[in-house]
Amino acid sequence: MEATEEQIQELIEQLQSNHYKTRLIVLGKLVEYGEATVPMLLNVVSHNIEIHWRYVIRALAAISTLECVEPVVSCWEERPDDPVVIEAFRGLVDHFTAEARLENLPALLRLLTCYKRDLNVMSHGQTTSVGKTASLRAADILILLARHTPTPQLRVALPLLKRDLWHGVPKEFAEAYRQIDEATHLWKDLPLAVSELKTSMVGLPLPTTIPERGESETEQTMRNYGTN
Amino acid sequence: MEPTEEHIRELIGKLASQDYGVRLMALGRLVEASDAAVPQLLAALQHPNALVKACAACALAGIGAPQAVGALIALWEESPRDPSRMEALTEFATKLAQSANPATIPALIELLPCYKKTMGEGSVAGREISRIAAEGLRVLAYKAPTLTLRAALPALKRDMWHVSPDEFGEVRQVIEEATRPWKDLPVTASGPQMRAQELPLPADKPTLS
């Protein structure tokens, strides 16, 4: 179903309606229009526009494109005990963990970090494990991808699956780490692109031979210009 | 174009979908179908799948079907801090109160005790719902007083264990005055149970012989 920008804008404005009936109908329509509504819904989120925000989060979670991941996950991290947000978050997790697809990798990487929020919630006396479940399901999908379609991109997940001193990494992550590392071993020493995920010194690839220590190109240039 | 029964059945089937988006789309369509969807939505309240039940109750709340009152209260009581359930019941009560008529009186009366059903955050919403229902009954007593309004009087009485909303006293008085002509009518055996002090009094005291 196609919709014009005006139609979408109008629907988003109707989310502020005082009528519950209207809000439910509009929510359904926004989901039906799908991906086309995402930029405007994201605009509402990023500009903190006064609107029934739970409806916006529900719509984004139901549409579940990659752009929807961050706002929905962040919203759940801020309100991990809100049942509406939990339901939306679960909807998003279901979508991205239903099938093993490499294009969903950024979403899976984001979900891998969700177990950390559960710890915070538990420290306040609650015992929800919504985040850990999401992280484990993401790890399972990454294992499937490693088995069936191993690619160098999967190695980006490795630092996230490593033991973390501050957060109790789920023990199941060790197995995911092992399987992905093994399946992508061929690409172990490829250089990292600048745009890749930040990695700690420990995660950097090692050169196969240790280079001899000589004068670097930079040092030579600086000497030539007499600045050294 | 009014949706067919078959189409509505199909939409209700989608409420059980594992796909969150499919459920929300079906919910929107059912609310849009309005009165045509009510009979099947009421039947869906007995569905074994909890998701279907919850979505059907929300759809009925959106439509404002008074028959759904019991199901909506039960759904809210299960999880009184759930904003969507709270919202569904509050909006439902508001809609009923705004369009109060003799047919909605039983549903409004059923909403009156919500203030004493839950503790904590849920009880704030409960009080609000009770207040909205009482307001609907008060307006109706002014506009179109009927005998059935008197069935609300016991629920509006001061409660020894729960502090009822302040407005209840005034609403009770308004209904009492508006329905005075029916005060001493005999009570039917199938009517709501009444305490001894609520029973109608005979016009003349019987003489003991």
Tell me the shortest Cα–Cα distance from A187 to chain B, in angstroms. Answer: 36
Q: What is the mean pLDDT of residues B26-35?
A: 95
pLDDT mean across residues, chain B: 86
Let me know whether B110 and B126 are in one domain.
yes
Segment A70-90, tens digit of pLDDT: 999 999 999 888 888 999 999
Out of B24, B83, B91, name the one closest to residue A62 (CB): B24
Question: Could you tell me if B92 and B176 lie in one domain?
Answer: yes
Cα B88 from Cα A56, distance rounded (Å): 17
Assigned domain for B193 exists:
no
Question: Two tokens at A127?
Answer: 């015992």
Whether the pLDDT of residue A204 is over 60: the answer is no
Question: ipTM of the predicted structure?
Answer: 0.79
Find how far residue B115's CA is from the centre of its chain.
13
Q: Does A190 touch chain B (CB under 8 A)?
A: no
If asked whether residues B58 and B81 sit together in one domain, one would say no
pLDDT above 70 (res A50):
no
A156/A190 Cα distance (integer angstroms): 12
Return the higher-pLDDT residue of B11 and A217.
B11
pTM: 0.79
Q: Could you tell me if B88 and B71 are in contact, meaning their C-beta atoms sit under 8 angstroms apart?
A: no
Q: What percent of chain B has pLDDT over 70?
A: 84
Nearest to B188 by CA among B138, B148, B144: B148
* B104 and B8 assigned to the same domain: no
Name every residue whose Cβ is closer than 8 Å to that of residue B139 and which is 6 or more positions away in sequence: B97, B100
User: What is the C-alpha separation between A46 and A44, in angstroms, rounded?
Assistant: 6
Look at residue B197 and tell me if it is in a domain: no
Partner-chain contact B25 A32, CB within 8 Å: yes
| Token code pair at residue A147 | 């088995």
In this prediction, residue B191 carries a pLDDT of 61
Is the per-residue pLDDT at A35 higher than 80? yes
CA-CA distance, B207 to B209, in Å (whole number)?
6
Amino acid in the structure at residue A108? L
| pLDDT tens digits, B71-108 | 899 888 888 877 888 888 999 999 999 999 999 999 99
- Out of A144-153, B17-26, B77-86, B175-184, pick the least confident: B77-86
Give the range of the structural domain holding residue B44, as residue numbers without chain letter: 1-63
Mean of pLDDT values over B49-61 = 90
Q: Between chains, do B87 and A27 touch, taking CB under 8 Å as contact?
A: no
Chain B contact for A26 (CB, 8 A cutoff): yes
What is residue A198's predicted lDDT score, i.e. its pLDDT?
Answer: 55
Determine the pLDDT at residue A157: 93
Residue B185 lies in a domain: no
- B161 in the same domain as B73: yes
Is B23 a member of any domain? yes
B161 near A CB under 8 A: no
pLDDT at B138 over 90: yes
Q: Tokens 């990695």 label which residue?
A: A199
Q: pLDDT above 90 covers what percent of chain B? A: 51
Same domain, B112 and B138: yes
Measured in angstroms, the CA of B78 and the nearest CA of chain A are apart by 12
Average pLDDT of span A97-103: 93
Distance from CA of A14 to the nearest CA of B (A): 14
- pLDDT at position A124 is 46
CATH number at residue B12: 1.25.10
Structure confidence at residue A216 as a pLDDT band (50, 70, 90): low
Please report, for chain B, how many H helices and E strands are present, in that order: 9, 0
Q: Do B21 and B98 share a structural domain?
A: no
Which residues neighbour B29 within 8 Å (Cβ) at sequence distance 6 or greater? A28, B3, B11
| Per-residue pLDDT at A223 exceeds 80 | no
What pLDDT score was predicted for residue A58? 95
**B91/B43 same-domain check:** no
Listed residue (B84, B39, B101, B28) closest to B65, CA to CA? B39
B54 touches chain A (CB under 8 A): no
Q: Is the pLDDT of residue A211 over 80?
A: no
Q: Is B146 part of a structural domain of the chain? A: yes
Q: Is the pLDDT of residue B184 over 50?
A: yes
Pair (B91, B171) in one structural domain: yes
Asked if A83's CB is within 8 angstroms of B84's CB, the reply is yes
The answer on B103 and B146 residing in a single domain is yes
| The 3-state secondary structure of A85-103, one letter per residue | HHHHHHHHHHHHCCCCCHH
State whether B75 and B58 are in the same domain.
Answer: no
Contacts with B83 from chain A: Cβ below 8 Å? 54, 82-84
Residue A226 burial (CB count, 10 A)? 6
> Of A69, A164, A54, A57, which is closest to residue A109 (Cα–Cα)?
A69
The pLDDT-based confidence of A129 (bands split at 50, 70, 90) is confident
Closest CA of chain A from B39, distance in Å? 18
Asked if residues A157 and A100 have their Cβ atoms less than 8 Å apart, the reply is no
The mean predicted confidence, pLDDT, of chain A is 84
Is pLDDT of B172 > 80?
yes
Q: Indicate the residue of B28, B87, B91 with minimum beta-carbon distance to A25.
A: B28
- Phi, psi dihedrals of residue A35, rounded to the nearest 5°: -50, -35
Return the amino acid letter for A59: A
Partner A contacted by B88 (CB < 8 A): yes
Tens-digit pLDDT profile for residues B114-133: 988 766 655 678 889 999 99
- Verify that B18 and B121 share a domain, yes or no: no
pLDDT at B20 over 70: yes
- Pick the more confident residue, A38 or A204: A38
Contact present, A38 and A60 (Cβ < 8 Å): yes
Per the structure, how many domains does chain B have?
2
The closest of B186, B182, B180, B189 to B199, measured between CA atoms, is B186
Residue of A47, A128, A27 lying closest to A82 (CA atoms): A128
Among the partner residues A21, A28, A91, nearest to B63 by beta-carbon distance: A21
More confident residue, A74 or B195: A74
Indicate the domain borders of chain A.
Answer: 1-96, 99-228
